[in-house]
Each structure stands twice: as C-alpha cells, then as structure tokens.
Structure 1
Amino acid sequence: MREAIDYLPRRAASLVYEALEDTRVVVINGARQVGKSTLAERVLRQVPGGVARFLDEPVTRTAAQEDPVRFVHHDSLMLIDEVQRVPDLWLAIKYMVDRDPRPGRFLLTGSARLLALRSLPDALPGRSETIELWPLSQGEIEGHEDGFVDAVFALGADLRAEERGLRRKDYLALATRGGYPEAVKRTAPRRRKRFFEGYIADLIVRDVKQIAEIERTADMRRLMSLLAAQTGGLLNINRLASELGLPNPTVRRYVDILEIIFLVRFIPGWSSNATTRAVATPKVIFVDPGLAAYLTDGDVSDSRVGGLLENFVLSEITKQLTWARTSARLYHYRDRDQYEVDAILENNAGEIIGIEVKAAETVRRDDFRALRLLQRRLGDRMKGGFVLYCGSESLSFGEGLTCLPISALWTTQAET
C-alpha cells in the first residue's frame, strides 16, 4: 500500500470514520491531488482485512472491466480508488450492498462529481454518503482550530480573534500558495509553478476528456485564465463567449465541466422577502486560490488582489462548512442599487452572518455600508456583520458589526 510523505491530518477523516459506522458505501470526492487516496488508505489501515484496488493501474482496471461483480466481492472494507474510471462498478457495488447491507462495505474515491456524470447512474440512493475533500485548509496546514463557522453563529458580533501579526503581503503569500498538498510542500515559487503547470495539463488531458469531447483544448485553457482573472466576480457567460469567440452554449458547457472536475465553484446569489432587488447571478471562485494566481501569471496587482483574497476567504469558509457542526449554506449578496456583501452564511434557523473581505490593512466606516443595509432589513435574523481585513485588530464598528483579521478564519476555536 502506498505511503504518504509528510502527511497532514485531515478534518474529513473523522467524517469518513463516522459514515463507515452506519453507511454501506462512503465516497471521498474532490479535485485531483487534494489527498483523497492518501486519506482513504489511512482509514483503510484501521480496518482489519481491508483491501485496496487502484484503478489507475492498467491491470487492475482491466480486471474491473472484465468482471465487475467478482472484482468487488470481499468480506471486509474495500477501497476502490478513482472509481469513475470503470462505470460498470457502480451497478456491481449496488448488487453487493443490496444483498449484504452491513455498513462499511466500500470506500470509494473519485476526481469528478460522480453522480453528475451520465455514465454513472444514480444507483445508490440511501446506500451511500459523499464526503467532499478540498485542498488543505490553513488550519490543517498550520495546526490551528478552523472553527470560525461554528464560533460566528454561537457568538455573533461578539467574536474576537487573537492578533497574529499577519499583513497583506503575508495573506497574499498564503493565497498564492494554495492548499494542494504538493504545492504546500514546495517552498520555492519556481517549483510550485512547475506543479501547477503539470496539474493543469493533467486536468485537461485526463479529467476534461474523460467527461466530454472538447473540440479545442486551447479554448478550455483560455477560459480558465479568463475566469481566474475575474475570480470572485459574477458569472457572465455573454462576456466570456465574446472574449473567447465561442457560442454561448459552448462556453456554458465548458464552465459546467470546470465545476464537475472541481476547478471552480459557484456561489449562488442570496435573497429574501426583505431584499427583493437582489441579483440571482452566481459568483465564481476557484477551489484553490493558488491555482487561480498561477493562471494569471502570479499577478497580484491592486486590480486583482481584492478578488484573489476574496477567493481565499470564500474557499476557507467553504472548506469549514464540510465539517462544521453548524449546518449552513454559503451565498453572496448583490442588488440593483450596488450594495454588495461578499459572503452570506445562513443556518437552518434562517439566521444570517454577513462577511465583507477587504484587501486593506485598515477598515473604514464605509466598509460596513452593505452590511448595515442588511442589518436594517433583516433585524434579529442577522447575527452579525463582519469585515475580514489584512490588519491584526478585532474592533467593534457599532452594534452587531465587527472587523476581524482574516486569520480569524482558522485560528478561532469552535464554540461548543
């Protein structure tokens, strides 16, 4: 079995163990190179009699294609890595777990949204649980708590963060590094750039072509760069189509493919009866801000630094939502009167947290303009409004409004 080097513990591990206790099939899904196989193998080591099958090995893949039912026959936990490579396994697994409904039968990993692919039928309702693995969070990298989401709903605007002494240049360095384990391990910028070069090439050759026939892969690469240049902005298919010289339906299809392979994520627009002028257009972020920075040749000029840091913050929040005890969804807010809030968190009780991201090391009263609007319209539903910035102090800006250093995202301990 393959051995991980310099392994950093993943918060998703506890989710996998919990799911295997009561679920027949557990899927670890996520982008290529985020550590799915490494996590799955470490889980498998804790299960007596567990076996692993790696479908990127040609002989193993051929055996799975020739006799899928016999391939998946095993009494203990079976790990199948890159399961989307042999779609027929999906029905074979269903056949096995329907006849033996014990929990913890299969642990699957995949690099695309398995159930979104037409070649993989929705064959396991009620039998499976999917755990999405993102690139490493800052808390996982640095050994901090990663408890902001739980704490902010528990404490609201009373939340305060310890000073870490980080400044804008430090946050930019963290954002451009990203969270892919291999990129984190490479401290030299040139070596990290080589990783990203190979990653993009591999993504296009293997994952994109696995999902759809792309007429011109150069167009897909140009689309990635265009999206990276406007990360954190609203998705504008018309503008992208114009810049690429492609039909709108083609660009829409390409963007959807990039979401399927975990390159980008859509943040939906938020609205309520109190915000009837809200815009529904989704915002686009990259799953990893380091990759977005690479696709713009590392451009961190003033015109782009705001979008990059916003992407950094939104991706950290999205990672936390996969393991937080608080069940919440992430949105953005923008209305026709030019009021904009970068992130809206809404829990099951309908309580709202508003978050603005600022690339400056100071905060002004006007930075809370849109948060104050939501506060007036939502009343008690709004638990707090926050400006996350590149300074170091936690300060009140009025009832229910607070500025915090961006590092509060990963240094805050979750409230129980």
Structure 2
Amino acid sequence: MIYKKRIVDGLLELKLESFGATLITGPKGCGKTTTGKQKAKSVVEFQDEDLRDNLLSVAQVQPSKLLIGEKPRLFDEWQDAPKIWGAIRKSIDDEQKNGLYILTGSTSQNVQTPHSGTLRISTMKMYPMSLYESEESNGTVSLSQLFNDPNSFDGCHSDLSIDKLIFAICRGGWPSAINNTTPIAQLQIAKDLFAQTCSVDISNIDGTKRNKLWTQNLIRSYARNLCTLSTLQTIFKDIQNCGISESSFWNYVEALEKLFIIEDVPAWNPAIRSKSAIRSKDKRNFIDPSIAVAALGLTPEYFNTDFKTLGFLFESLCIRDLRVYSSLQEGQVSYYHDRYDLEADAVLHLGDGRYALIEIKLGSNEIDAGAKHLCKIEELVRQYNEKEKQVPMRLPDLKIVLTGTEYGYKRPDGVFVIPIGCLKD
C-alpha cells in the first residue's frame, strides 16, 4: 500500500537530527509504526509471533544485542521488552550520535522505565490524519504561509461538500479507515476503537481491571459535552447513577488521557479582562471527533437534521487539524471565552510567539458574528496596551474564521474566512 505522506514526517526528521532516539506517541491506530518505518533502516518487531519468544528472551538477558543493525533502528511494541529502553539510553551515551533509534508501540500499556531518557530520547506526538493528509482538503491555503505573508492570500475555493465533510467527521482520521475501500468499512474503524477502548485498553493501560459499562458511559457523556465548558464534576453527575464512585471516575478520566482518547483544550488567559471574567476551565474534547460519533452511535445520515451537534463535531475536527498543521512550529491550541460571551474557539500559539485568533463556524450565517468576536478581542488587546505600555501584549498576527463553506476570502476588517477544505500546514 502506498504511504500517504504525513506532516509529522518533517518533525520526525528534526527529532532524529537532534536526539539519539525518538519515541513516537499517540492514540492507537494513528499510524505511528508506519510513519517510523519510513525513516528506519532496520526494524525489530516484538509482535512478530515467529520471532517473538526469541526476541523477548534476548531483550531480557542481553538487550544490547538487539541494538545491532542499521541505524536508525526501529523497535515496534518496545513496551513488551522494557529493558530495551535502558540499553538504548546507554548506547546513545556510548556512541554520542543522533538519529540512532525510533521507538513505537501501543498506547494501551503504560511502562515505567528506570531512566527518563531526558536529552537522549525525545518524545514526538502523532495525531490521526488531518483532512489535507487524507487528501480531502485541497491544501490551497498554507497556515505557515498565512503567518509569514498574510498579504499573499488571494481567496480560495473548497471542493469539500457538506456531505463529504460529515462523512470525514464520522470516519475520523484513522489511516486504516481511510485506506478501506467502501464507506461502510471506513466507518467501522472508529466504532471498533471505541469498543476496544472500553473492553480491553482501559484495563491494559496499567493492569487495573476497569468496568466496561462505566467507560462507555463516561465517553458518551464526554461526547454529549464535546467542545463545551462543562466541568468534569458535571460529567460525573451525569454518569454516577451507573454506580461509579467519584475517585474511580477521576481514575478512569486519567486512563483515557493516557490512551490519548481524551484531549481537552486549555483556556487562554490574557490580561485583557479581570481574572474573574475569563473562563479558565478546559474545553472537553477527544483526539478525533469520530470517537464522539461512535460513542453516541450516530451515522452520517443523522446529521441531515441535527446541525447543532454537527457544529460541535466540526469544531473538534478543526482543532485536530490545527494541532497537526502547526506541529512543525510547536503549535499550541487553546480557547478564549469570558462571561460576556466574547469568545475565540481556538487560539493558536506558535513556538516563536506569533498567534492567531480563530472562530470555528460550520455555516456562512455565523461568519459575521465570529469575525466581530475576533475584532473585539483584538481591540481589548489594544486597549490593554494603552494602559500597560511598559509590558504590552502582542497583537494577534492573524484573525481567522474557519468554516465548512465553499469560498474563502479576506474581509475588510482583516479577518480571513477560510474553508477547512482548503487548509494545510
């Protein structure tokens, strides 16, 4: 099967150039091993049943023997042989070279290592595929180019219809789903991921037996509260009638975070309002919107009559893609919301200090309101700078309304309207 290029490929190259080894983390099924193999010159697969017993025996007795081979050398499912971590760490110290090893493995097992690997083994996070990587966004608008030269933007046109967008949300960015040949087969992957998470992975992550029903209810409640500011206490109250205790609830949430199922969006707290005015709770989210669809048992056809739920799922998809597109620039996604209902659905900060205020609106009828919010936040920053001239805040480098519509353009107020079906890194 032909490898679909991933944006994180460039980040892996940088990690290999900078560190002795790279550990690729991320949710199950996002393509960690396949991506690692593109850069590796030799591979050790602990899940190969023909070789497994022998490999594990060597890893237990003399793990350094498994390091012999062309570099970079990839260890897949390395957590099955945890002593390999220490051997790799020592090898890096001895050889004083970079780009020697790549480690990948399942997120369903948490491994405690005797050494952290700091400055030797760097961690790199992968996400499911963005719309550009799955070839559903035409990529006519580069996020990095927009930051570097906003004046280069001359409008755009998306080929992604609303029906195709709905299907992409339901299917998710899982490579195995995208590679399946029929729509019904593509939709099965997220359903199976949800089922496996609840029945197997939630217990395997740390060897603690957990209740399948409690896990299902927790994820479903999270799905109902997707991209909202609902507190975890609210979600607990929603499911406590199933018999779960509060301490168990927090334990389950932590396990789902370790599995990269849950990935909330933190709040951005600039000094433009009083601390009591700005919301500081995390916004509830999954690593991929298809998890919410699978948990709620919905189909693409359902959204023909429920655009409100679709709007929350669309926001989740856009946040996923923004995280992927900004990964090479150390992008961090947060949100802004205050008690006056002034909001930015996403605030994208790059590693060099530049940032964009972003509203996410599925339909064209919400674009004006979203743009006004962004301009108002920018004005608040200006007003703050007038008062705090000694330590001014940076004005937003970009104001963007991300949409599910067809056409992109720049408004007279400086806000860029960009269809998600046009965006890339």
1:168-179 mapped onto 2 (5 Å cutoff): 168-179=162-173
Go from structure 1 to structure 2 and tell me whether the alpha carbon gap of 1:71 and 1:286 turns closer, same or farther (over 3 Å shift).
Answer: farther
| 8 Å CA contact 1:157, 1:383 repeated in 2 | no
| 8 Å CA contact 1:157, 1:385 repeated in 2 | no
Structure 1 gap segments, 5+ residues each: none
| 8 Å CA contact 1:84, 1:120 repeated in 2 | no
| 8 Å CA contact 2:89, 2:121 repeated in 1 | no
TM-score by length of 1: 0.86
> Is the counterpart of residue 232 in structure 1 residue 227 in structure 2?
yes
| 8 Å CA contact 1:29, 1:113 repeated in 2 | no
The amino acid that maps onto 1:373 is K
**Residue 403 of structure 1: how far off its partner (Å):** 2.0
Does the residue aligned with 2:156 lie in a helix, a strand or coil?
coil
> Is the counterpart of residue 283 in structure 1 residue 283 in structure 2?
yes
Partners of 1:10 and 1:364 lie apart in 2 by: 31
Does the residue aligned with 1:112 lie in a helix, a strand or coil?
coil
Residue number in structure 2 paired with 1:53: 45
Partners of 1:261 and 1:206 lie apart in 2 by: 11
Residue number in structure 2 paired with 1:91: 86
> Is the counterpart of residue 181 in structure 1 residue 175 in structure 2?
yes
**Residue 64 of structure 1: how far off its partner (Å):** 5.3
Residues 213-258 of structure 1 show CA distances to partners (whole Å, capped at 9, x for unaligned) of: 1431211122112212222122521111112113333222222221
| 8 Å CA contact 1:228, 1:295 repeated in 2 | yes
Go from structure 1 to structure 2 and tell me whether the alpha carbon gap of 1:161 and 1:59 turns closer, same or farther (over 3 Å shift).
Answer: farther
Partners of 2:81 and 2:230 lie apart in 1 by: 33
**Residue 205 of structure 1: how far off its partner (Å):** 4.7
Go from structure 1 to structure 2 and tell me whether the alpha carbon gap of 1:383 and 1:42 turns closer, same or farther (over 3 Å shift).
Answer: closer
**Residue 381 of structure 1: how far off its partner (Å):** 0.8
| 8 Å CA contact 2:138, 2:421 repeated in 1 | no
User: Could you tell which deviates more after superposition, 104-113 or 306-315?
Assistant: 104-113
| 8 Å CA contact 1:289, 1:311 repeated in 2 | yes
Residue number in structure 1 paired with 2:323: 318
Partners of 1:130 and 1:59 lie apart in 2 by: 28
Candidates 16, 21, 25, aligned match of 2:21: 25
The amino acid that maps onto 2:46 is F
Does the residue aligned with 2:169 lie in a helix, a strand or coil?
helix
| 8 Å CA contact 2:60, 2:83 repeated in 1 | no
Go from structure 1 to structure 2 and tell me whether the alpha carbon gap of 1:100 and 1:352 turns closer, same or farther (over 3 Å shift).
Answer: closer
Partners of 2:252 and 2:151 lie apart in 1 by: 40
Does the residue aligned with 1:317 lie in a helix, a strand or coil?
helix
Candidates 337, 345, 349, aligned match of 2:348: 345
Residue number in structure 1 paired with 2:390: none
| 8 Å CA contact 2:18, 2:98 repeated in 1 | yes
| 8 Å CA contact 1:65, 1:86 repeated in 2 | yes
Residue number in structure 2 paired with 1:407: 421
Residues 33-69 of structure 1 show CA distances to partners (whole Å, capped at 9, x for unaligned) of: 111112222222xx3xx34233464425632553253
The amino acid that maps onto 1:102 is K
Candidates 107, 113, 126, aligned match of 1:112: 107
Residue number in structure 2 paired with 1:140: 133
> Is the counterpart of residue 210 in structure 1 residue 204 in structure 2?
yes
> Is the counterpart of residue 369 in structure 1 residue 372 in structure 2?
yes
Partners of 1:43 and 1:281 lie apart in 2 by: 40
> Is the counterpart of residue 123 in structure 1 residue 113 in structure 2?
no
Partners of 1:14 and 1:364 lie apart in 2 by: 34
**Residue 187 of structure 1: how far off its partner (Å):** 4.6
Residue number in structure 1 paired with 2:307: 302
TM-score by length of 2: 0.85
Does the residue aligned with 1:264 lie in a helix, a strand or coil?
coil
Residue number in structure 2 paired with 1:255: 253
Residue number in structure 2 paired with 1:264: 262
**Residue 156 of structure 1: how far off its partner (Å):** 4.3
Residue number in structure 2 paired with 1:393: 407
Does the residue aligned with 2:134 lie in a helix, a strand or coil?
helix
Residues 249-280 of structure 1 show CA distances to partners (whole Å, capped at 9, x for unaligned) of: 32222222212111121211001111332111
Residue number in structure 2 paired with 1:10: 6
| 8 Å CA contact 1:279, 1:333 repeated in 2 | yes
Residues 309-345 of structure 1 show CA distances to partners (whole Å, capped at 9, x for unaligned) of: 001111000111222xx44321111112222211001
Does the residue aligned with 2:401 lie in a helix, a strand or coil?
strand
Residue number in structure 2 paired with 1:333: 336
Partners of 1:60 and 1:205 lie apart in 2 by: 30
Go from structure 1 to structure 2 and tell me whether the alpha carbon gap of 1:93 and 1:76 turns closer, same or farther (over 3 Å shift).
Answer: same
Residues 380-407 of structure 1 show CA distances to partners (whole Å, capped at 9, x for unaligned) of: 6122322222222233443222322222
| 8 Å CA contact 1:362, 1:391 repeated in 2 | no
| 8 Å CA contact 1:161, 1:408 repeated in 2 | no
| 8 Å CA contact 2:330, 2:351 repeated in 1 | yes
| 8 Å CA contact 1:27, 1:128 repeated in 2 | yes
Go from structure 1 to structure 2 and tell me whether the alpha carbon gap of 1:364 and 1:33 turns closer, same or farther (over 3 Å shift).
Answer: closer
Partners of 2:337 and 2:246 lie apart in 1 by: 24
User: Could you tell which deviates more after superposition, 221-230 or 91-100?
Assistant: 91-100
Partners of 2:250 and 2:151 lie apart in 1 by: 39
Partners of 1:20 and 1:364 lie apart in 2 by: 42
Partners of 2:115 and 2:147 lie apart in 1 by: 35
Candidates 29, 33, 39, aligned match of 2:35: 39
| 8 Å CA contact 1:263, 1:287 repeated in 2 | yes
Partners of 1:282 and 1:343 lie apart in 2 by: 12
Partners of 2:421 and 2:101 lie apart in 1 by: 37
Residue number in structure 1 paired with 2:388: none
Root-mean-square deviation (CA, aligned residues, Å) is 2.7
Partners of 1:348 and 1:51 lie apart in 2 by: 33
Partners of 2:195 and 2:220 lie apart in 1 by: 13
